[in-house]
Amino acid sequence: MPDRGGGPTGPRIRVGRPSRRARTLLLTLGVLAVLAMAFVMFAGFWTDWLWYRSVDYSSVFTTTLWTKIGLFLVFGVLMAVAVGVNIWLAHRLRPPLSAMSLEQQSLDRYRMGVAPYKKWLLLGITALVGLIAGASATSQWRTWLMFVNGVPFHQKDPQFKLDVSFYAFDLPWYRFLLGFGFAAVVLSLIAAALVHYLYGGLRVTSPGARATSAATGHLSVLLGVFVALKAVAYWLDRYGLAVKSSDFKATGNWTGLRYVDANAYLPAKTILFCIAVICALLFFATLWRRTWQLPVIGFGLMVLSAILIGGLYPAIVQKFTVEPNEQAKEAPYIQKNIKATRDAYGIADTDVDNYSGKSSTKDTTKQRGDANSAASYRLIDPNVVSPTFQQVQQKRKYYGFPATLDVDRYNGQDTVIGLRELNIAGIQKHNWINDHFTYTHGYGAITAKGTATDSNGAPVFTESGLPTTGKLPSYQQRIYYGEKTTQYSIVGGPQKELDYEDNGEKTTSYAGKSGVDLSNPVNRAAYAVAFSEPQILYSGAIGEGSRILYNRTPKQRVEAVAPWLTIDGDAYPAVVGGKIQWVVDAYTTSNGYPYASRTTLGDTTADSLTDNQRAVVAQQNQVNYIRNSVKATVDAYTGQVKLYQWDTKDPVLKTWMKAFPNTVKKKADIPADLKAHLRYPQDMFKVQRELLTRYHVTDPKQFYSGSDAWQVPDDPTTRDNRAVPPYYLSMKLPGQKGTGQQFSLTTTFTPSGRPNLGGFMAVDADADSPNYGTIRLLRVTSEVPGPEQVQNKLNSLPDVATFVRDMKGADSDIEYGNLLTVPLDGGFLYVEPVYAQGRNSHYPLLKKVAVSYADADSPDGDTTAFRNTLGEALNKVFGGDGEQTTPPDTGTTTQPPATGNDALKKAIADAQDAYDAGQTALKKQDWTAYGKAQKDLQDALQRAADAGAKAKSSQKGG
């Protein structure tokens, strides 16, 4: 052999060990790296704990944490033990290797390589599978808590007569256990087979027996356990039929048993269960018989039975028994589905009335009077006027309003409200101090009448300014928590905050107890790591009293303290008790209500107004049971979160209240002044209206045929073909007792594939009303124009064409507001505000009001009007003479009437003045003044025409 050490051919090179100093340095660096990684993991845990403690919901954090830890340990250990024991047992049952075959000789080097590390390899494999299984099990914490805390629904499914709680709370946990069992057996079987092969218990190419008796017995038992679990799966599948989704060509999405399920699949699952039990016993019998002949035959029989009994037989029943007379066969099951779906979505008690669609009287004077009291027509569209709020009430660039404002009630009046929140993008100079210390909060609630505008078409503000003043009682105006507040802020320390600017800069320092204290260096270090911001650790702007505020949107905070709730997409503010409180509607949901059809929340709750801010926060997106069980509030100054029980009968909420005791307050604890601002939630309403497009039909035959199916119409005021949003409106419904209007949430339906009106839906949305939550559904029995047809009719009016031409000539954009629908005298009254925005104007102004009265007998031309005010439009539609006043608080009033030639002369003079004013404004490019002049000109010309008509009439009479 050649000398590889250098020898006489060259110097010997010595490779020495690292010096002690180098080893110490490497060891120190390794320890520091481990500590750094440990602190990074600790930082996430510690900051979460600090946040939950700061909002007084630490029990939610600890309950969730201990549940996850418990699941991780139990199922991790079970998986590790199952796999480890089978590996150990396979090794223990290995045969002697005295007579080695060629196959075993080739495996010898692997055995030799494994031998020194057998114990460590066993521990490593079991630890790995245990960690993976444990981590997977932690995701089932909701399933476990619902299983151990479940309360009965006191409702039984129609097929198996089991309480609904079995499907909602128990069956999901049993399915998880079954899946875990399959995983444990399969992994154990693979591991045991590999060990048996490695040590000669199994042979692939060697002559003679393929397996030793010990290996045969061991693997047969594992296979028997697998088949036994399959038997359990067949048994659970029987109950799973009650919550199984399928595509039923007659009705689309379907949940529950159909004829073929009850008469083919159900008996098939029972038969397969019995076969699987027998097959499992045959596998266990190999412990004594030491042969796989019978179990293999039994397993083959089970597979064949699954194909024939579980697949072919139901297909035959469907083809030759159901399809020739499907309507009759499926009718009993459709009836069960209808009942369960209506119960699960809270629409079972919907009050359905036929509505003729034909005017019950031809007395237009009475109709005109009834129109005044039928509704408080909301001319201020919260979806349109946000730019107006922004332009008029923003005050500073670093403030902003949400794109869609909210509707509430103050002093008995429908009110549009928006909060002047902090808009971090509007800060002129961005740096860490400005973004997180100086600019920390918004200021004030801005409100406007929902039913009135000023003479220019702008909202009539009832609370405005900076600080705000108006009709609201005194309240804390600083807004530290809001829908637009997504960044963290550090407050309360040595660095002062900008409060507001009003003839000088005013500063403040946060006095609330919200947020997490940063005085502690450990806390600062943890947040520096968690937020990836090292300045938090050493900045001099942080000191005694400094607190960090984060998770600042209302939906974020409610979702964090109640992760078992599904959050409504629209949180809305209310000024209550001297504070601004965000109100957040929250839902309990389930995917396990037998026979109830499923819906996808993300799709069902989307409409033409849905954006990222107003998207529903779904704990589970596919549901077939929903309740608005919780009303939550978030204080805009302190961030305090309160959860109030709203649905006292909901078993899902009761289950979660058992799991998280003392987190949800009783319904009786809701303050009276807060309750006055609570309302029926939009997302719940949208889910219910989507279900009612089909489930307003309760007759199985009619449901099957789909002859009376509806659809939610597209929003005719937009071009994106998305569903029309529901509208809050104070109105009086046909047959309603009393004379007052109800604060309602409303929507329309059209027949599937047709544009005419099919139905009208309204729910009493006033939480103080004894009829809160009562759904009224008017089924239109005549051909009445729908929203799209009314919009098309409006667009075809000559007055509209002239208005559009004039506005385009003045380089103004036109925007249509909410198309409100109000039942009136057997027909429907449509009201739509129309806004215009000039090139030099940054916000839209109400310029026109369109009104259309639609019933089955009305001629098209005489029932639609496009006028300057609501009063004028109503007068035109119902044949008024222009002398009637507008409904209370619905906009600017018409000019007081004059008579004879004096009225005509005054109108002509006013028209000349308006024309001159318009030309002057046009030269100055003052588009606001030009718009007002055009409005005054049209008013004057209309009065001139009316006066001329009166003069002619009086001459004929004379």
Give the residue-averaged pLDDT of 778-793: 91
Which one has a higher pLDDT value, 905 or 99? 905
Give the residue-averaged pLDDT of 635-641: 96
Give the residue-averaged pLDDT of 91-117: 70
Q: What is the pLDDT of residue 882?
A: 42
Which one has a higher pLDDT value, 4 or 245? 245
Q: Is the per-residue pLDDT at 466 higher than 80?
A: yes
Q: What is the pLDDT of residue 738?
A: 67
Residue type, 277: V
**φ/ψ (deg, to 5) at 47:** -65, -35
Q: What is the pLDDT of residue 888?
A: 43
The string of pLDDT tens digits covering residues 354-409 is 998 888 777 788 888 888 888 999 899 988 888 899 888 988 889 999 988 999 99
Give the residue-averaged pLDDT of 929-948: 70
Give the residue-averaged pLDDT of 607-618: 71
Q: What is the pLDDT of residue 101?
A: 61
* Separation CA 660–CA 97 (nearest Å): 60
> Burial level of 782, CB count in 10 A (0-12/13-18/19+)?
middle
* Separation CA 781–CA 358 (nearest Å): 9
Q: Does an H or E element contain 332, and which? A: helix 326-344
> Burial level of 874, CB count in 10 A (0-12/13-18/19+)?
buried
Return the closest-CA partner of residue 778 out of 823, 825, 732, 815. 823
Q: What is the pLDDT of residue 403?
A: 87
- pLDDT confidence band for 7 (50 / 70 / 90): very low
What's the half-sphere exposure (Cβ side, CA atoms, 13 Å) at 889?
16
Across 257-397, the runs of DSSP E, i.e. the strands, are 351-355
* Separation CA 585–CA 644 (nearest Å): 10
The string of pLDDT tens digits covering residues 802-851 is 888 888 877 788 888 889 999 998 899 999 999 988 777 678 889 999 99
Q: What is the pLDDT of residue 552?
A: 94
Residue type, 177: L
Q: Is the per-residue pLDDT at 174 higher than 90?
A: yes
Give the residue-averaged pLDDT of 703-729: 87
Scored b (16 or more CB within 10 A) or e, 924-941 reads eebbebbbbbbbbbbbbb
Terminal Cα-to-Cα distance of the chain (whole angstroms) = 142
Phi-psi region of 657 (alpha: psi -120 to 50; beta: other; left: phi over 0): alpha
| Structure tokens given for 785 | 């124009």
| Structure tokens given for 200 | 């000669």
What are the distances in angstroms from CA 782 to CA 128, 356, 359, 755?
69, 6, 11, 13
* Separation CA 403–CA 426 (nearest Å): 15
* Separation CA 855–CA 861 (nearest Å): 13
Q: Is the per-residue pLDDT at 957 higher than 80?
A: no
Q: Does an H or E element contain 566, and which? A: strand 566-567
Q: List 156's β-bridge partners, or say none.
A: 163
197: number of Cβ within 10 Å? 17
Q: What is the pLDDT of residue 718?
A: 80
Q: What is the pLDDT of residue 902?
A: 59
Q: Is the per-residue pLDDT at 168 higher than 50?
A: yes
- 725: helix, strand or coil: coil
pLDDT-wise least confident of 109-123, 327-341, 899-913? 899-913
Give the residue-averaged pLDDT of 473-487: 94
The string of pLDDT tens digits covering residues 263-304 is 999 999 999 999 999 999 998 888 877 677 787 888 888 889
- pLDDT confidence band for 905 (50 / 70 / 90): low
* Separation CA 580–CA 319 (nearest Å): 63
Phi-psi region of 200 (alpha: psi -120 to 50; beta: other; left: phi over 0): left
**DSSP per-residue codes, 668-719:** GGS-HHHHTT-B--HHHHHHHHHHHHHHT---HHHHHHTTT-EEPPB-TTSS
Give the residue-averaged pLDDT of 445-455: 90
* Separation CA 311–CA 305 (nearest Å): 9
Which one has a higher pLDDT value, 54 or 918? 54
Per the listing, tokens 């409060």 go with: 499
What angle is formed at CA 700 by the lines to CA 697 and CA 704, rounded to 5 degrees? 85
The string of pLDDT tens digits covering residues 175-224 is 999 999 999 999 999 999 999 888 877 776 655 566 788 888 899 999 99
- 558: helix, strand or coil: helix
pLDDT-wise least confident of 718-732, 768-782, 914-928? 914-928
* Separation CA 651–CA 629 (nearest Å): 10
Residue type, 690: E
Q: What is the pLDDT of residue 357?
A: 87
* Separation CA 183–CA 79 (nearest Å): 9
* Separation CA 831–CA 849 (nearest Å): 7
**φ/ψ (deg, to 5) at 106:** -70, -25
> Burial level of 335, CB count in 10 A (0-12/13-18/19+)?
middle
Q: List 732's β-bridge partners, or say none.
A: none
Q: Is the per-residue pLDDT at 348 higher than 80?
A: yes
- pLDDT confidence band for 904 (50 / 70 / 90): low
Question: Percentage of the chain surpassing pLDDT 90?
Answer: 53
* Separation CA 722–CA 713 (nearest Å): 8
Return the closest-CA partner of residue 595 out of 167, 135, 49, 97. 167
What are the distances in angstroms from CA 735 to CA 353, 354, 826?
10, 12, 11
Give helix then strand counts, H and E, for the chain.
30, 34
| Structure tokens given for 748 | 């329309």
**φ/ψ (deg, to 5) at 638:** -95, -15
**DSSP per-residue codes, 912-955:** HHHHHHHHHHHHHT-HHHHHHHHHHHHHHHHHHHHHHHHHHHHH
Return the closest-CA partner of residue 90 out of 184, 220, 206, 219. 219
| Structure tokens given for 355 | 């509505």
| Contact indicator for 382, 353 with CB cutoff of 8 Å | no
- pLDDT confidence band for 16 (50 / 70 / 90): low
pLDDT-wise least confident of 194-198, 763-767, 827-831, 858-862? 858-862
Q: What is the pLDDT of residue 104?
A: 65
Q: What is the pLDDT of residue 132?
A: 95
Give the residue-averaged pLDDT of 60-69: 96
What lies within 8 Å, CB to CB, of 139 at 6+ separation is: none
Q: What is the pLDDT of residue 9?
A: 44
pLDDT-wise least confident of 52-56, 452-456, 759-763, 922-926? 922-926
- 57: helix, strand or coil: coil
* Separation CA 903–CA 899 (nearest Å): 5
Phi-psi region of 346 (alpha: psi -120 to 50; beta: other; left: phi over 0): left
Question: Percentage of the chain surpassing pLDDT 70?
Answer: 87
Q: Does an H or E element contain 529, and which? A: helix 521-530
Return the closest-CA partner of residue 520 out of 497, 536, 496. 536
Q: Does an H or E element contain 631, and which? A: strand 625-635
What are the distances in angstroms from CA 891 to CA 428, 453, 458, 871, 898?
39, 5, 10, 8, 21
Scored b (16 or more CB within 10 A) or e, 130-166 reads beebbebbbebbbbbbbbebbbebeeebbbeeebbbb
Calculate the average pLDDT of the chain. 86
Overall pTM > 0.75:
yes
* Separation CA 405–CA 417 (nearest Å): 6
| Contact indicator for 497, 440 with CB cutoff of 8 Å | yes
* Separation CA 889–CA 874 (nearest Å): 14
Give the residue-averaged pLDDT of 897-926: 62
Residue type, 917: A
pLDDT-wise least confident of 378-387, 612-621, 709-718? 612-621
DSSP classification of residue 438: I
Q: What is the pLDDT of residue 21?
A: 77
Residue type, 122: L
* Separation CA 888–CA 880 (nearest Å): 17
- pLDDT confidence band for 588 (50 / 70 / 90): very high
| Contact indicator for 79, 133 with CB cutoff of 8 Å | yes
Q: What is the pLDDT of residue 41?
A: 82
| Contact indicator for 696, 759 with CB cutoff of 8 Å | yes
**φ/ψ (deg, to 5) at 716:** -75, -10
- pLDDT confidence band for 928 (50 / 70 / 90): low
What's the half-sphere exposure (Cβ side, CA atoms, 13 Å) at 27?
7
Q: Is the per-residue pLDDT at 586 higher than 60?
A: yes
